[in-house]
Structures are given as C-alpha cells and as structure tokens.
C-alpha cells in the first residue's frame, strides 16, 4: 500500500451518520485499500447551494495500491451504491466522496483534479484534515495545513 490519500466525506440526506460509516466500511473492505486515519464527524452549514440541510463532514486517510483513477472509480461506485443521485449539481446528497490529496501529486485529467480544486476555501474540509494530519504540508502552497486554516479563519473573520 504505497500511496497515501486523503478523502473528504459529506452527507446531508438521512441517515447521514450511517452513510458516512457505510462508505468508510466499504473502503476498509476493499483488498487494495487500508483506512489509516479517521477524523471526527463535523456538522456544518451548507456552503455554495445553501437551500439544503446541514452536512456531516469527515476526512479520512487511506493507504492504497490503486492508481488515482482506479481509486476514483471505486469512490464513484461507493457513492452510487449509497444512492447518490446527481439531481441538483450542488444539491443534497446521500454521500459525497472526494479525493483531496494523492501523495503530493498534482493530477489533472478530464475526470479528476488533485489536489481538490476547492479544498483550500472549505473549512468543512480543512478542519477535519488538520485533525488527522496537522503536520501536513499542502502541495498547493507548501504551507502547513494548520497555517492554511488560520488564514482561512482570519479571512472569514471567525475567531
């Protein structure tokens, strides 16, 4: 298992906790994936499309032998198996399973961008990520995740 990957999970359709737990279990049961770190679960107000229920968000670290694109098809399969219907693009979802970081690689294909393009402005991603990997240096800016989080909080004026 020589690739370190961080995944973001989110759900705002009940049973939210069950959807997150099922996704982690499916990943852990995959023969080429080992779940190595699991963050706390955070209840967060929806950002972007705000006319929807609160999310539960979580970040996990996995070690895997899968390539990034092989992992993407596994995550899409798990989303589909939990009933993910892409009705409204930014609308409610049973489960979102996003690849945040794949080693320290920059990947850009039609179907996959890593590091996740919106992760630096998402406190619902950065806070659980900082919990499981406080020493992580982000490939985008080579800044420690905890310092990036401080900047985001300053910018939003939340203290």
Ligand X SMILES: Nc1nc2nc(S)n(CCO)c2c(=O)[nH]1
Tell me, by CB under 6 A, how many residues bind ligand X. Answer: 13
Q: How far apart are the first and last CA of the chain?
A: 39
Provide the token pair at 53.
């229920």
Q: Is 6 in the site for ligand X (CB under 6 A)?
A: no
Structure tokens at 69: 């694109």
Is 118 a residue of the active site? no
147 is catalytic: no
98 belongs to the binding site for ligand X (CB under 6 A): yes
Is residue 33 classed as helix, strand or coil in its secondary structure? strand
Pick one of 6, 7, 16, 44: the residue that binds ligand X (CB under 6 A). Answer: 44
Q: H or E element: which one contains 42?
A: strand 42-44
Q: Is 10 in the site for ligand X (CB under 6 A)?
A: yes
According to CB under 6 A, which residues from 101 to 130 bind ligand X?
A: 124
C-alpha distances (whole Å) from 48 to each of 25, 51, 121, 122, 138 are 29, 9, 11, 10, 23
Closest distance to ligand X from the beta carbon of 80 (Å)? 15
The residue among 90 and 113 lying less far from ligand X, judged by its C-beta, is 90
> Cβ 129 to ligand X, closest distance in Å?
13
Query: Cα 97 to the chain's mean position, in Å?
Result: 6
Residue closer to ligand X by CB (options 86, 142) is: 86
**Interface pick for ligand X out of 7, 23, 33, 55 (rule CB under 6 A):** 55
């Amino acid at each position: 298992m020589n690739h370190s990957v961080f995944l973001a999970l989110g759900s705002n359709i009940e049973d939210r906790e069950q959807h997150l737990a099922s996704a982690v279990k499916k990943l852990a049961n995959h023969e080429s994936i080992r779940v190595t770190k699991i963050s706390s679960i955070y209840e967060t107000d929806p950002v972007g499309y705000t006319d929807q229920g609160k999310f539960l968000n979580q970040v996990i670290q996995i070690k895997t032998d899968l390539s990034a694109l092989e992992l993407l098809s596994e995550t899409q399969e798990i989303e589909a198996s939990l009933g993910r219907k892409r009705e409204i693009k930014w609308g409610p979802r049973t489960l979102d399973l996003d690849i945040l970081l794949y080693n320290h690689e920059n990947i850009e294909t039609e179907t996959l961008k890593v590091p996740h393009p919106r992760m630096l402005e998402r406190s619902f991603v950065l806070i659980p990520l900082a919990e499981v990997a406080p020493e992580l240096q982000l490939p985008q800016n080579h800044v420690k995740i905890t310092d990036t989080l401080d900047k985001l909080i300053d910018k939003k004026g939340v203290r």
